[in-house]
Structure 1
Amino acid sequence: MGEIQRYKELVGRRVAEDDLEGLAVDLLKAAVANQGNWAGLWDGVLDRVRRLPPEGRSRVADGLVAQYHSEQAGPKARENALILLGIVSRDLPPHDRLLAERLALLDQIARQHSFWYSAHYENLVEAELAAGRPIPPAVVATVRRSVTHAYQNEDLLRTAKKLTEPPVNVGEAWADQALSDAADDSDWQALLAHAATATAAKPNAKWDQRATTLTTALSTSLGPDRVRETVLTWLALVGRPRTLELERGTYEPDVNSAYDPYNANALRGLAWLLSLLPPHPDTARALGALVETSLKKVAGLGPRNPKVANAGVNALARIDSEAALAELARLATRVTYKNTLKLLDAALETRAAALGLSREEIEELAVPAYGLTEVGRAEHRFGEVTAVLEVQGTKAVLTWRNASGKAVKSVPAAVRRDHAEDLKELKAAAKDIDKMLSAQSERLDRQFLADRTWSYATWRERYLDHPLVGTLARRLLWTVDGTTVGHAEGALRTLADTPVTEGTEVRLWHPVDHTPAEIVAWRDWLERHGVTQPFKQAHREVYLLTDAERATGTYSNRFAAHVLRQHQFHSLAAVRGWRNKLRLAVDDEAPPPSRNLPRWGLRAEYWIEGDGGADYSDITDSGSYLRLRTDQVRFYPIDAPENSAHCGGGEYRMWLRDGAEPVEPLPLTDIPPLVLSEVLRDVDLFVGVASVGNDPTWQDGGPGGRFQEYWTSYGFGELNQSAETRRLLLDRLIPRLAIADRCTLEGRFLHVKGDRHTYKIHLGSGNILRTPNDQYLCIVPKSAPASPQTGYLPYEGDRMLAVILSKAMMLAADTKITDPTILSQL
């Protein structure tokens, strides 16, 4: 405060002495001293200068030019001189003082994401506007982005409002294409400008009215479909790498992977605008893709832009079409970001209420056939050529036959020439099927805890005989009036292959309700009929209460004392329907990861704590822990008060409000076996995937060797339940492998005999030891290892099985290994 008052008095004294050149020196010294920050009370110093008459400010400006060229001026002083020059020259006649230098600074500003409001760079822009020169579009973009934190700089806000061109910011692929398409058309430019005004959570009637007027004008001149087609070409480019890369500060998020915040408003507007046009399947696809692209994670930031994702959901909810409803239902199984998921749930609930259906029923009815005319198959005629669309496992496969019925490898030229639009729609349908198959597989996998039942007729219509869902339902086991059935040879059949053609009530089969002998018999039945299940069902791990858990009574320590990668755990938890809060290295508390089970009136909790190391070095730039330590699994009534503990560890305590009494955890013996099994299976998945013990590069124990003991015990220790299931499967698979004579299963390991050494692959972690002294062999698997040709597999989705088999194939032929990193260890 004293420093600011001193400079105010100094300004007054220099003015009284008519020493305005000296005032320029004083101002520049102050700018360097306060690091160019003229915010807050410092702004009063500048006000004194701004009140000088024009001739006085001109003399100060000349003094700043002189100081800029002085020998003692450094880079910071020169930059501040340019800013001060812009401030004191406001409203003066256009001038060319330090013009080249000002333009060079503007060029530098153009490569920044934004600038802090106190930098006052807007004065450089005002000088250019006063001179009648256009502002480079990249500079316009920086100014617009800077407005988001310009609440203390009214000058910046006023300057930004003057920059009306271009209608959206340059530098993103979609925006550049939009500006190119709208370059010579005022109607398109007006539409883009209106889209950029979409700053609210939802469009109001006035916004919709203006959007309708603009789209009607374009549709009248170009045709009704042209607006939609053009906007969809823009949305198809969203998420592409920036065309103008921005400079990134050391601790800043990855701004080049995030959305331009000004353009994000325009994307919201375009999504809303599409919902006002006649419904079309392409619109629903594009909006669904926009939601998913907008929720992709960016380092240091999180989801790219949840507001754009939410606008996509709101737009889909406003479209009354089967395709839009299908996208909402698909996204509800894929989206894990809490606020967007709430919007999806609300949209589906609203649609269900309007139709007098339950939420589950609307999800079932929302699945389209995508042109399939029978379960998993459709034929389409294109002149004399036939396209066959078939669902094969998790993919839709498109094949072609010529007029004589002979298969051809590629799309015939006549089809590409004469049926381009139909071909485009067919290919789009194939992609839609791939996405929906994945979503429906996950939805079905969650039905165990939903404990759903269906009438036989409804179930056949929505599941077994549905053209798309039927490809999944026919590979699962069900109970019809208590009798287990599977689908084979065109009919539902019992274990003895007796057909079942009618029934009353249907449930999804779960192994916890059946004897080990029956489970094994059904596994044999699936293999005999060549059925590969879309996820583990007959081979599903079952977690029964142990003696140790009976002894502890109200909690399970089965998955305690593990070290997990926090962000991987967080993502997995969201996918499996668990609520979790990232642990930050701050003085704050958080509830444990939990999963509500409304069908059972229960809440499951998995207690965790952050691990930042002794010196808190194991945290991200944004302050979140890299790793977690795990503790108990507990169950409470669903409406029990929430527990919480410090993010960095400590005792969990129940958060009590309004005089509420604490609620004790429920005895594990009171938890239904299916619920206990499924919850513990989730937790086993979290540990099995996110444990640092799975990282083959951590043989040294990670940072400072802190995790050496844990890594060794996990990476080569006793098998968990999923690894035991993997062992049973390998016991059946190995005899069918081309390397069967080189492989044996012994305890926790698959032994592989190579020509150089014999190797032991751990069935839980995939880590490898080699003879003769159990020396560790580090082989880092590819992110998506190819599944070796093993013939029949009973279920899909076990990545670790693919890792183990691919390592076994490589090591059995170890003399053919060429990778220098692996060879150096052999």
Structure 2
Amino acid sequence: MRLAARLADALTDPAVAAGVAHADLAEVSDDELGSLLPAAYRVTGEAARPSSSVRYLVQIAGRERQPRYTPDACRRMFEALAEQSERRDWTDAALAVSSLARCTGPWPDVAAPARAMTEFLLDKDRVAQPYALLAMAGLAGDRAVRAVVERLGRDAGPIALEQIAVITGLAPAERALLADTDRVASFNAPPPLEEAWREIAGTPAYADFARRALRAAADRADAIQSGAVPYRADKAFTDREVVALGHAARVALLRDEPWLPELLGRLLPGISVAPTAARTLPSQALLYELVRAGQDFPTPELVTAVRTVRVTARHAGVPKQLDKMLKKLDSALAERTDVALRLPTLGFDGEGVLRREAGGRYAAVVTVAGTAGLTWEKDGRPLRGVPAPVRRDHGGLVKEMRDLVKRVDVQLLTLARALEGGFTVDAVHPYGWWRTELAGHPLARSVVRRLIWEIEVLPGEWRPVLPEAGEDLPDAPDDARVRLWHPLRSDPGRVRAWRDLLTERHLRQPFKQAFREIYLLTPAEEETRVHSNRFAAHLVHYRRMFALFRARGWASRLLGPWDGGDGDDAVRTLAAGRWQARFFHARADGAGDEELASTDQVRFARRVAGGWREAPLAEVPPLVFSEAMRDVDLFVGVTSIAADPEWTDRGPERAYWERASFAELNESAQTRRDALRRIVPRLRIADRCSFDGRFLVVRGELRTYRIHLGSANILMEPDGSCLCVVPERRTAGGKVFLPFEDDRLSLILSKAFLLAADADITDRGILAQIERGVRAP
């Protein structure tokens, strides 16, 4: 008997429930799941308790996957949920409407149960699902629609009222899709359909509403700033208007409307800063809702506007919250390659220079070379600072130029993040467009030219080029393909050559590319098949790791001494939403004031019909696998207690510290070693340094030291005792060119310079450790 049939029996006959209480529903099809869910929602009461575990299994699958409903299953779902309102004083309009959105045939007549649920929800004043409630009322009849419109209209605000009027004029299927987009309305409904937002955005009536709503919001913000509307902190828009504007923004962002950048340029500053000197803002709720809309459908103009607001907002908590949200926004933009690389010229010439005259003899000059820099000239001669006459007579210009520098740097950062994020989608571009709009763009060129690109000069033949190195671009047709070079696709010899070139010419790339770590499937991972233990069983400083999750765009709940706080999986979506990586971790016993976590498996899932299905590691695209594992390596490598030189005896954690502090090098540490092999021969202490496997060996006057290239911890010869040196940010011995930014690399070099001149050390704490071994018999 098929599993679906056994589950159906278990939902109606508690006597057979035990046999499938822990079944894996992966083999149950989406159509079978849609048939099971109505029966699951009918399970209630003490007599059905043995069936409850099966009910939970089915309901959880319904929340995670995309069930498909026959017309009969839709009818049964409506009837089951209407019965719940009578039996359990509960019902879920969004769950009911979601079954219609996934119906595989003509909609059944569900007017009676829809009317019962609508009346129940209005009677109980449960209107937290406004879109689903409007869709439900449309099924129940005109009287129900009028009642719902009247209730939702109370204290809604004019923008929300207009949205309600627009929704009531939509077709029933359009109302159901709109309800499906409301992800926070129901804990029980499945993930939104992939086509839902596209269908809504393609509805002319709703697209027109989106423009009117956002323009009305910007006009209101302008009126508040001018004083035409009285200012009240966080009261510029009602709760319903915030939700309506969030929907309007998603539609406009998805459509990439040409009028939107200018409008956002008014709206975001207008709602984020009080018109007075108060450290409040007109609408914190709308600001965050617009950023969340951008996380769904980002554009570079929105990201730039959010970064600008992050600088100007005076409310103490807003910049910190925007920093968290910007991580997800950057990650999302990187995967929306159709718009991510768009960049305005802002009046700069072809060489990335903009000049503005100030009073005839003076000029402001902004030059973009990696970052934007502002200088001042008098009669064409450069000056050290802002000339006094300009500061006195042209204060507005000074502010404008300084703001322009900040804006350009924000846009360049956004572009770099978008390009790096394109690795997992293996983004390709037409050569003609790339040559003019990226490599030849006045601003983008400073980022693009320092990266290695591949041009498909013949079918299947890719030629790499680094424009900043002075290489001529190859002859190729405008429709030839261009993509970022990735070391995973290159042979080791070519990778070494690029790394040598960057080091010799002191070229720092916008992000780590030539020196990028790669992660290939190991034999152990082929054995475990669906999970990797490569980064399991580490002890880490949890709060530091949690901060890195946010910084790298991974979503995770905070662990702590509360219900459900014992463990979680950090999740990142990659490859334009097609793949998902999950990194499991759990709370560990604290050591003193420390909060520790233990690391566990990494698993992957692919998106199938709007839901996530776990996938074998061998089926994960190599670039997706490598980029996800690179992040996890970063989390563990940076936050492991093994990298803490001051860690002392603290029970069983000490055994882990001793084992991991000097362990074999992982991929990031091997890349660090590769960089050091190029850097060290150029240093004045080169004759005192050598490499031995996982160590940089430094010969001092008093002792010889072995610096581990992973943890940066130090062993002293000849006895192998540990030397604790508090980390320093500054690299001793002057400025050293590093081909990429890496705190651990800087720390190792700093320690190497210090220990090569150990006879000059004056720190008594360090000297005592060194001399203890030197004086020993």
TM-score (norm 1): 0.54
Counterpart position of 1:516? 492
1:589-635 deviation per Cα after TM superposition (whole angstroms, max 9, x unaligned): 7652222235483322222111135xxx7688xxxxx2211112222
The 1:306–1:527 alpha-carbon spacing in structure 2 relative to 1, beyond 3 Å, is farther
| 8 Å Cα contact 2:572-2:582 kept in structure 1 | yes
1:28-50 deviation per Cα after TM superposition (whole angstroms, max 9, x unaligned): xxxxxxxxxxxxxxxxxxxxxxx
- Equivalent residue runs for 1:323-362 within 5 Å: 326-328=304-306, 341=325, 359-362=336-339
| 8 Å Cα contact 1:611-1:629 kept in structure 2 | yes
The worse-fitting range, judged by mean Cα deviation, of 672-681 and 431-440 is: 431-440
Counterpart position of 1:469? 444
| 8 Å Cα contact 1:605-1:635 kept in structure 2 | yes
Structure 2 distance, partners of 1:814, 1:753, is 9
The 1:431–1:565 alpha-carbon spacing in structure 2 relative to 1, beyond 3 Å, is same
The worse-fitting range, judged by mean Cα deviation, of 459-468 and 815-824 is: 815-824
The percentage of aligned residue pairs carrying the same residue is 35
Q: Which runs of 5+ in 1 are unaligned?
A: 1-202, 220-226, 232-261, 295-303, 353-357, 621-625, 644-662
Counterpart position of 2:465? 486
Counterpart position of 1:569? 545
| 8 Å Cα contact 1:330-1:436 kept in structure 2 | no
Residue 362 of structure 1 and its aligned partner are, at CA, apart by: 3.2
Letter in 1 for 2:620: I
1:805 aligns with 2:749: yes
The 1:641–1:376 alpha-carbon spacing in structure 2 relative to 1, beyond 3 Å, is closer
Structure 2 distance, partners of 1:268, 1:378, is 43
1:87-137 deviation per Cα after TM superposition (whole angstroms, max 9, x unaligned): xxxxxxxxxxxxxxxxxxxxxxxxxxxxxxxxxxxxxxxxxxxxxxxxxxx
Structure 1 counterpart SS, 2:341: helix
Residue 756 of structure 1 and its aligned partner are, at CA, apart by: 3.3
Structure 2 counterpart SS, 1:719: coil
The 1:286–1:483 alpha-carbon spacing in structure 2 relative to 1, beyond 3 Å, is farther
| 8 Å Cα contact 2:570-2:584 kept in structure 1 | yes
Structure 2 counterpart SS, 1:551: helix
| 8 Å Cα contact 1:488-1:529 kept in structure 2 | no
Structure 2 distance, partners of 1:811, 1:677, is 36
Structure 2 counterpart SS, 1:397: strand
Structure 2 counterpart SS, 1:507: strand
Counterpart position of 1:629? 598
Counterpart position of 2:196? none
1:440 aligns with 2:386: no
Counterpart position of 2:586? 609
Structure 2 distance, partners of 1:442, 1:786, is 27
Counterpart position of 1:597? 574
1:537 aligns with 2:486: no
Structure 1 counterpart SS, 2:521: coil
Letter in 1 for 2:636: V
Structure 2 counterpart SS, 1:531: coil
1:483-503 deviation per Cα after TM superposition (whole angstroms, max 9, x unaligned): 233233686547xxx676855
The 1:457–1:618 alpha-carbon spacing in structure 2 relative to 1, beyond 3 Å, is farther
| 8 Å Cα contact 1:597-1:638 kept in structure 2 | no
Structure 2 distance, partners of 1:737, 1:672, is 40
Structure 1 counterpart SS, 2:655: helix
Structure 2 distance, partners of 1:336, 1:218, is 31
Residue 387 of structure 1 and its aligned partner are, at CA, apart by: 3.7
Q: Which runs of 5+ in 2 are unaligned?
A: 1-212, 243-248, 250-259, 311-317, 771-777
Counterpart position of 1:682? 631
1:165-199 deviation per Cα after TM superposition (whole angstroms, max 9, x unaligned): xxxxxxxxxxxxxxxxxxxxxxxxxxxxxxxxxxx
| 8 Å Cα contact 1:453-1:507 kept in structure 2 | yes
1:557 aligns with 2:533: yes
Task: Pick from 762, 769, 773 the counterpart of residue 719 of structure 2.
Answer: 773
Task: Pick from 373, 391, 401 the counterpart of residue 349 of structure 2.
Answer: 373
TM-score (norm 2): 0.57
- Equivalent residue runs for 1:75-154 within 5 Å: none
Structure 2 distance, partners of 1:343, 1:681, is 17
Structure 1 distance, partners of 2:326, 2:413, is 21
- Equivalent residue runs for 1:270-349 within 5 Å: 308=284, 310-311=286-287, 314=290, 326-328=304-306, 341=325
Counterpart position of 2:707? 761
Structure 1 distance, partners of 2:284, 2:347, is 30
Residue 694 of structure 1 and its aligned partner are, at CA, apart by: 1.4
| 8 Å Cα contact 1:750-1:760 kept in structure 2 | yes
Counterpart position of 2:405? 430
1:287-341 deviation per Cα after TM superposition (whole angstroms, max 9, x unaligned): 7899xxx9xxxxxxxxx999837526649999xx996663248899x99969984
- Equivalent residue runs for 1:641-680 within 5 Å: 665-680=614-629
The 1:801–1:516 alpha-carbon spacing in structure 2 relative to 1, beyond 3 Å, is same
Structure 1 counterpart SS, 2:416: helix
1:50-105 deviation per Cα after TM superposition (whole angstroms, max 9, x unaligned): xxxxxxxxxxxxxxxxxxxxxxxxxxxxxxxxxxxxxxxxxxxxxxxxxxxxxxxx
Letter in 1 for 2:305: E
| 8 Å Cα contact 1:611-1:628 kept in structure 2 | yes
1:749 aligns with 2:681: no
Letter in 2 for 1:610: R
Structure 2 distance, partners of 1:810, 1:449, is 41
Residue 723 of structure 1 and its aligned partner are, at CA, apart by: 0.7
The 1:268–1:785 alpha-carbon spacing in structure 2 relative to 1, beyond 3 Å, is farther
Structure 2 distance, partners of 1:552, 1:306, is 53
Letter in 2 for 1:628: A
The 1:725–1:462 alpha-carbon spacing in structure 2 relative to 1, beyond 3 Å, is same
| 8 Å Cα contact 1:475-1:487 kept in structure 2 | yes
Structure 2 distance, partners of 1:434, 1:384, is 28
Letter in 2 for 1:485: P
Structure 2 distance, partners of 1:213, 1:331, is 19
The 1:375–1:204 alpha-carbon spacing in structure 2 relative to 1, beyond 3 Å, is closer
| 8 Å Cα contact 1:737-1:790 kept in structure 2 | no
Counterpart position of 1:412? 387
Q: Which has the larger radius of gyration?
A: 1
Residue 477 of structure 1 and its aligned partner are, at CA, apart by: 1.2
> Whose RCO is larger (CA < 8 A, sep 6+)?
2
Counterpart position of 2:678? 732
| 8 Å Cα contact 1:331-1:344 kept in structure 2 | no
| 8 Å Cα contact 2:540-2:636 kept in structure 1 | yes
Structure 2 distance, partners of 1:719, 1:566, is 22
Counterpart position of 1:158? none
| 8 Å Cα contact 1:454-1:506 kept in structure 2 | yes
Residue 685 of structure 1 and its aligned partner are, at CA, apart by: 0.9
Letter in 1 for 2:439: L
Structure 2 counterpart SS, 1:716: coil
Letter in 2 for 1:511: P
| 8 Å Cα contact 1:759-1:768 kept in structure 2 | yes
Structure 2 distance, partners of 1:761, 1:612, is 30
Structure 1 distance, partners of 2:663, 2:454, is 38
Letter in 1 for 2:755: L
Structure 2 distance, partners of 1:475, 1:206, is 43
| 8 Å Cα contact 2:754-2:761 kept in structure 1 | yes
Structure 2 distance, partners of 1:343, 1:807, is 32
Structure 1 counterpart SS, 2:569: coil
Structure 1 counterpart SS, 2:661: helix
Letter in 2 for 1:438: L
Structure 2 distance, partners of 1:633, 1:566, is 17
Structure 1 distance, partners of 2:766, 2:237, is 48
Counterpart position of 2:653? 707
Counterpart position of 1:402? 378
Structure 1 distance, partners of 2:422, 2:300, is 23
